[in-house]
Structure 1
Amino acid sequence: MSNEVRVQLERLCLERGEDFAGLSRMIGRNPAYIQQFIRRGVPRRLGEEERRRLARYFSVPEATLGGPEEEEDFVGMVRVPALPVRASAGPGAFADNERQRAFFAFEERWLKKLTSASSEELNLIVVEGDSMAPTLADGDDILVDRSDAKARLRDGIYVLRAEEALLVKRLALHPITRRVTVQSDNPAYSDWPDCDPKEIDVIGRVIWSARRVT
């Protein structure tokens, strides 16, 4: 168990670009604390307070870092994985690392009003760029329903894959030809008209967004 915790903590550090010394100081320990725990297994387990601070900092359940399972806190909730990738509302964001970084918990009855998809078919990712402004802004979290993709394609906002990049764009279907226009809500960006829907790699439909208040 302890070895798995070390692997998870090192992964979180790499994904967030955190250095061991700075993280050690953040939790009130000497600069070598995290490195010794990961590399040498000393201490054998994270202290309860250190574990709690790290879990809150990385937005992961304490169980990820060796704490007790907290399933009772999530009764009636649905955990939706959040991925460390960005869907570009601009020039294109590379998605070469789609490992889970954390999760968001949604109230089950509320979520069912948005979609009937299972949590395995849902993901939260981050918007990058301003081509979908003002509808979506840089840094917004968006909930993507991967069960609602090309088979049910209709007017709406979708996450698309273009080569190795993820894009978030509005799709508009011609009512007669069923050809697709890929649109940006920001008029400063050009649209892609008259696209063959067979050539568009649709990941899923955007069904909800959250924005930080500034």
Structure 2
Amino acid sequence: METPRAALQRLIDERREDYAALSRLLGRNEAYIQQYIKRGSPKHLREEDRRLLASYFGVKESLLGGPQDWEKPTLQQVPVLDVYASAGYGAADFGEARRTTIGFDPRWLRELAKGSADGLSIIRVKGDSMVPTLADGDDVIVDRKDGAGRIRDGIYVLRLDDSLMVKRLARQPAGKGISIKSDNPEYPSWQDVQLSRIDIVGRVLWFGRTLS
């Protein structure tokens, strides 16, 4: 790896610059740059000298010994849909237009989804039938690729009788039915519901909540 001294010498050679002229540019004695490169004195360029030299040569300060430039991470955008999954008795009317997107670290999303994160979307919970697990106004990340084909115990967004709901699903010990449960005991649950009646939108993987 090229050292700051070697990098500065290379720049001087490529641009046919002069030690003394560069030293005067910094307001130093004419031997300053030569001593820095050839004798190692000073051990490090001062911040203001490094910044001026980097600007003069049109390079990053990190090349001349400055801190590594912070690189903005590439975020994977997850769509936020105009959908309310009712944590109550269900809401018949809903739309699925993309409202905005929120960026997340791609590796975190892959770990969350245990694979591809391409099927993720964010929707809002409406109602209190899933309290204390989910509250009215919570935003949930739903994996729309994780549906009926992989169903297992967990919280899902589903359509049932033309209503969009977020509920806890569990396979029945016997038979092919599914139980649909509300975490809030004041709301009803349904036992032995046939899978053919349910359109599973996706599995809820994560939620976010605004603190009041």
Shorter-normalised TM-score: what interval?
0.5 to 0.7
- Tell me how large the CA RMSD over aligned residues is: 1.6
SS of 1:101's equivalent in the other structure is: strand
CA contact (8 A) 2:168 2:183 kept: yes
One-letter amino acid of the counterpart of residue 212, structure 1: T
Greater helix proportion: 1
Distance 1:195 1:162, change over 3 A: closer
Query: Is it true that 1:198 corresponds to 2:196 in the alignment?
Result: yes
Question: What CA distance in whole angstroms lies between the structure 2 residues aligned with 1:145 and 1:151?
Answer: 13
Inter-partner Cα distance in structure 1 for 2:196 and 2:161: 15
The equivalent position to 2:80 in structure 1, one of 73, 79, 82, is: 82
What TM-score, normalized to structure 2? 0.63
**Which letter does structure 2 place at the counterpart of 1:198?**
S
Please state if 1:142 is matched with 2:145: no
Superposition map of 1:84-99 within 5 A: 84-99=82-97
Tell me if the contact between 1:93 and 1:128 (Cα under 8 Å) persists in the aligned partners: no
CA contact (8 A) 1:159 1:203 kept: yes
Distance in 1 (alpha carbons) for counterparts of 2:93 and 2:103: 23
Kept in 2: contact 1:84–1:100 (CA 8 A) = yes
Shift of 1:177: 1.7
How many residue pairs were aligned?
141
* Kept in 2: contact 1:86–1:95 (CA 8 A): no
Counterpart of 1:97, as a letter, is G
* Over 4 Å off, 4+ runs: none
Where does the alignment leave 5 or more consecutive residues of structure 1 unmatched? 1-71
Question: Aligned-pair distance for 1:95?
Answer: 4.2
2:80 and 2:98 in contact (8 A); partners too: yes
Report the TM-score, using the length of structure 1 for normalisation: 0.62
**What are the residue-to-residue correspondences of 1:107-122 with 2, within 5 Å?**
107-115=105-113, 116-119=115-118, 121-122=119-120
User: Map of 1:17-28 to 2, 5 A cutoff?
Assistant: none
Secondary structure (helix, strand or coil) at the match of 1:93 reads: coil
Amino acid in structure 2 at the alignment position of 1:85: V
Q: Is the 8 A contact 1:96 1:164 kept in 2?
A: no
Bigger Rg, which one: 2
Structure 2 residue ranges without an equivalent (≥5): 1-70
Secondary structure at 1:137 match in 2 = coil
Contact 1:88–1:127 (Cα < 8 Å) also in 2:
yes
